[in-house]
A and B are shown apart, each in its own frame.
Chain A
């Protein structure tokens, strides 16, 4: 390759010790990512002090490998036990778990591994060739642009799941409402905190996620305890076929681009990338009606997107010194601990470092593809464990997952309450997807609107002068009108 610096990086990267670190980082990342509540950012933060004993390139290689693999790991538990290991994997559970329930856990895991690796590799290539260029994009995204992006996200609410748009919208608004708990950013006023200091920063996302998915599923399992199970043993460990991969090819490509783009935006993370990836996969699919019941496109869409967002988020982190995600922020801290200052000059002063990170992420993506495909055969057997033993174990994991995040008992209670409420909601036709979506976007919608209004001196017309905002508002409008207009045309034609 013609880029300078490769020759400096090569000796470091062919060092068996560095390769060993990347392998360890990848395997640890998959496992930590898979544990509910333990996100890749926490794993990276916990390893940070130990990375101090390493040279910069091996240290950052280890942390980046952990980041890539951790994002993939979240999908394993999302598919097998409906407990997303990390927030970005929430959208993977929408279709991954139903597919596993059908007895095709291996197929779901295989699709997830391939989609994740493809998305990850796509974004790493973008990182290598276009980082400084893309990084400038971060500057053109101020609050008005984020508000428009969030509105576009919300426009997907009615279509994201189920057949009852009204209930989806109510669920989404409920998510938005939960997101208002805590101190209001622009006025500093406490809202719905009831004097509990743990709630000042809002209700944490992960406990709600674990509650709505896993604890709700625990109760649903209790409901069907007595019923005869369909025997699914044979196909559970089967991997996806070539036809499967062909079918998800387009979803993977589309989501890789979406994920990289959203990852580059500093304020947004892989969770939103996964949500949009899921919805776009559904929108463009030939069989949108399969979504929510175990569509492989519904697994590939979010998984390619959230892994692409990991590479994307490294773009502003390395090129501008502005973290592109929570985990990237920790890696940024890791660079600083090493005495390095990320920014446009970093690559000029330390050309080898870019290759170190690039190589580590690339290798990690390939490694977890292997771990994921081989592991799919092993992990998928979990779905064969009798429910009477599996679900108590899952419950224990939920417990420690909710607690481990911030070491707060309030989080455990939030998780338990979310589980009980989630069971009631599910029974009456409210699906968790829009609630999660509202919760993810709530803070962004509200604060970016309030910030925009200050910037525009409280004049709404200010949005009209922001071209990027107008584009996203237009996309939102198209997204909302898409389904009714299509239906209208279909009805006209059929006459």
Chain B
């Protein structure tokens, strides 16, 4: 039986042909309002079109621009692990019309002292995804539990697949190894997809991947999830223990959310927060989260997100000091 999409019910001929029209020419800007937002809002990302950050931002924009009744654009400023994007946002007026999309990558860059922005310059608006790191092995591996993996690493270094050096999953893996007193031999790849292929193909022993990158393989039984690097278990894999439960205080997650710089008027931050939260309650964004293997709890408002950004920053900074990537100043 073919499962048709829930959106099917909504589509009428008229609506469908209007889509045909918008696919040719992008939607015209909504009429500007007198107060805020008075002109199009830019969401500045550090990712090329098509990546997870880009897709998340574009999905968020769809609902939010209706909620705020203003045109919004996703503006890619790639390079430098977010530094180019932060440079750009730093150069714009702090009037709420330029919003920075951040990921842990940006926080690592800030912790390294790269770019003009300091952690205290950031003011959170809302979070759109929270995607924790899951430690996993191939299911035919003799390693059954996290303890087994740690033991293996004491015999010989574990071949551990990660994305780029200094990325959140690399720092997460290295921090875990250090706390557990085990040894890793880190094999970096260009992206999560490559890590999945190589874990599958047997080039690496284990990997710390985002849940969304490997949920399919876990549910299908190709990969065995050993632990979630979070404080609470995940609804989609409820049997997998957390690192905190197992006695390792190693909490890392790929979060994506939106920020502005300090000095942006408070009332405008409020308007943005309300607009984004409403935008991310729309069906399209919920579908997007489900498609990626997440749920509505990914979305959070200013208070939760602001606290998390600061906690992640402190974790990242401490981890990088411990690992010798940066020196304490």
* Residues of chain A whose beta carbon lies under 8 Å from any beta carbon of chain B: 5, 8, 17, 20-21, 24-25, 28, 41-42, 44-56, 62, 138-143, 183, 185-188, 197-201, 266-267, 320-323, 326-327, 329-330, 333, 335-341, 343-345, 349-352, 406-408, 447, 451, 454-455, 457
Whether the Cβ atoms of A55 and B11 lie closer than 8 Å is yes
> Inside 8 A of B11's CB, which chain A residues have their CB?
53-55
A140 to chain B, nearest CB (A): 6
A306 to chain B, nearest CB (A): 19
> Inside 8 A of B77's CB, which chain A residues have their CB?
406-408
A61 to chain B, nearest CB (A): 12
Within the complex, which residue of B75, B165, B185, B203 is in contact with A142, where a contact is CB–CB below 8 Å?
Answer: B203
In the complex, per-residue mask of B11-24: 1 if CB is within 8 Å of any chain A CB, else 0: 10101110110111
* A72 to B287 CA separation, bound complex (whole angstroms): 33
CB within 8 Å for A454 and B3 given contacts A53-B15, A343-B216: no
* B54 interface contact, C-beta 8 A: yes
* A323 to B51 CA separation, bound complex (whole angstroms): 11
Beyond contacts A24-B20, A183-B164, A338-B291: 9 other A-B pairs, Cβ-Cβ < 8 A, are: A45-B54, A55-B11, A266-B194, A321-B216, A339-B287, A341-B215, A341-B293, A451-B203, A455-B204
* B8 interface contact, C-beta 8 A: yes
Whether the Cβ atoms of B193 and A62 lie closer than 8 Å is no
> Inside 8 A of B202's CB, which chain A residues have their CB?
142
* A200 to B114 CA separation, bound complex (whole angstroms): 12
Whether the Cβ atoms of A339 and B194 lie closer than 8 Å is no
Within the complex, which residue of B5, B197, B204 is in contact with A55, where a contact is CB–CB below 8 Å?
Answer: B5
Name the residue on B nearest A44 (C-beta). B50
Within the complex, which residue of A62, A333, A457 is in contact with B55, where a contact is CB–CB below 8 Å?
Answer: A333
> Inside 8 A of A140's CB, which chain B residues have their CB?
201
Contact sample, A vs B, 20 pairs, CB 8 Å cutoff: A17-B17, A24-B23, A45-B49, A45-B50, A52-B62, A53-B7, A56-B5, A139-B197, A143-B187, A185-B189, A186-B188, A198-B80, A266-B194, A329-B193, A337-B288, A349-B3, A350-B3, A406-B76, A454-B187, A457-B185
* A350 to B2 CA separation, bound complex (whole angstroms): 6
In the complex, per-residue mask of B193-223: 1 if CB is within 8 Å of any chain A CB, else 0: 1101110111110000000000111001000
* A327 to B50 CA separation, bound complex (whole angstroms): 8
* A352 to B166 CA separation, bound complex (whole angstroms): 42
B153 to chain A, nearest CB (A): 14
* Residues of chain B whose beta carbon lies under 8 Å from any beta carbon of chain A: 2-5, 7-8, 11, 13, 15-17, 19-20, 22-24, 26, 48-52, 54-55, 58-59, 61-62, 75-81, 83-84, 87, 114-115, 159, 164-166, 185-190, 193-194, 196-198, 200-204, 215-217, 220, 284, 287-288, 290-293
Whether the Cβ atoms of A49 and B58 lie closer than 8 Å is yes
* A51 to B193 CA separation, bound complex (whole angstroms): 23
> Inside 8 A of B26's CB, which chain A residues have their CB?
46
Whether the Cβ atoms of B201 and A139 lie closer than 8 Å is yes
Name the residue on B nearest A330 (C-beta). B50
* A255 to B237 CA separation, bound complex (whole angstroms): 45
A338 to chain B, nearest CB (A): 6
* A326 to B292 CA separation, bound complex (whole angstroms): 18
* A305 to B242 CA separation, bound complex (whole angstroms): 47
* A141 to B8 CA separation, bound complex (whole angstroms): 40
> Inside 8 A of B198's CB, which chain A residues have their CB?
142-143
* A110 to B189 CA separation, bound complex (whole angstroms): 40
B111 to chain A, nearest CB (A): 14
B264 to chain A, nearest CB (A): 23
* A118 to B111 CA separation, bound complex (whole angstroms): 52
Which of A52, A186, A327, A340 has its CB near the most chain B CB atoms (within 10 A)? A52
Whether the Cβ atoms of B2 and A41 lie closer than 8 Å is no
CB within 8 Å for A197 and B50 given contacts A186-B165, A338-B5: no
Whether the Cβ atoms of B164 and A188 lie closer than 8 Å is yes
Within the complex, which residue of A187, A339, A408 is in contact with B84, where a contact is CB–CB below 8 Å?
Answer: A408
Whether the Cβ atoms of A197 and B197 lie closer than 8 Å is no
> Inside 8 A of A197's CB, which chain B residues have their CB?
79-80, 83-84, 87, 114-115
Name the residue on B nearest A142 (C-beta). B203
Within the complex, which residue of A20, A49, A406, A457 is in contact with B62, where a contact is CB–CB below 8 Å?
Answer: A49
Whether the Cβ atoms of B23 and A47 lie closer than 8 Å is yes
A45 to chain B, nearest CB (A): 3
Whether the Cβ atoms of B291 and A336 lie closer than 8 Å is yes
Whether the Cβ atoms of A50 and B216 lie closer than 8 Å is no
> Inside 8 A of A55's CB, which chain B residues have their CB?
4-5, 7-8, 11
Whether the Cβ atoms of A341 and B17 lie closer than 8 Å is no
B8 to chain A, nearest CB (A): 5
B110 to chain A, nearest CB (A): 13
Within the complex, which residue of A44, A52, A198, A451 is in contact with B189, where a contact is CB–CB below 8 Å?
Answer: A451
> Inside 8 A of B196's CB, which chain A residues have their CB?
322
A336 to chain B, nearest CB (A): 4
B161 to chain A, nearest CB (A): 9
Whether the Cβ atoms of B79 and A266 lie closer than 8 Å is no
Name the residue on A nearest B77 (C-beta). A407
Name the residue on A nearest B114 (C-beta). A197
Whether the Cβ atoms of A42 and B49 lie closer than 8 Å is yes
Whether the Cβ atoms of A335 and B291 lie closer than 8 Å is yes
Whether the Cβ atoms of B59 and A337 lie closer than 8 Å is yes
> Inside 8 A of A339's CB, which chain B residues have their CB?
5, 287-288, 290-291
Whether the Cβ atoms of A143 and B50 lie closer than 8 Å is no
A4 to chain B, nearest CB (A): 11
- 9 nearest A-B residue pairs (beta carbon): A197-B80, A188-B165, A45-B49, A330-B50, A142-B203, A336-B291, A197-B83, A139-B201, A339-B291
Whether the Cβ atoms of A329 and B220 lie closer than 8 Å is no
Within the complex, which residue of B3, B22, B50, B75 is in contact with A333, where a contact is CB–CB below 8 Å?
Answer: B50
Whether the Cβ atoms of B216 and A341 lie closer than 8 Å is yes
A27 to chain B, nearest CB (A): 9
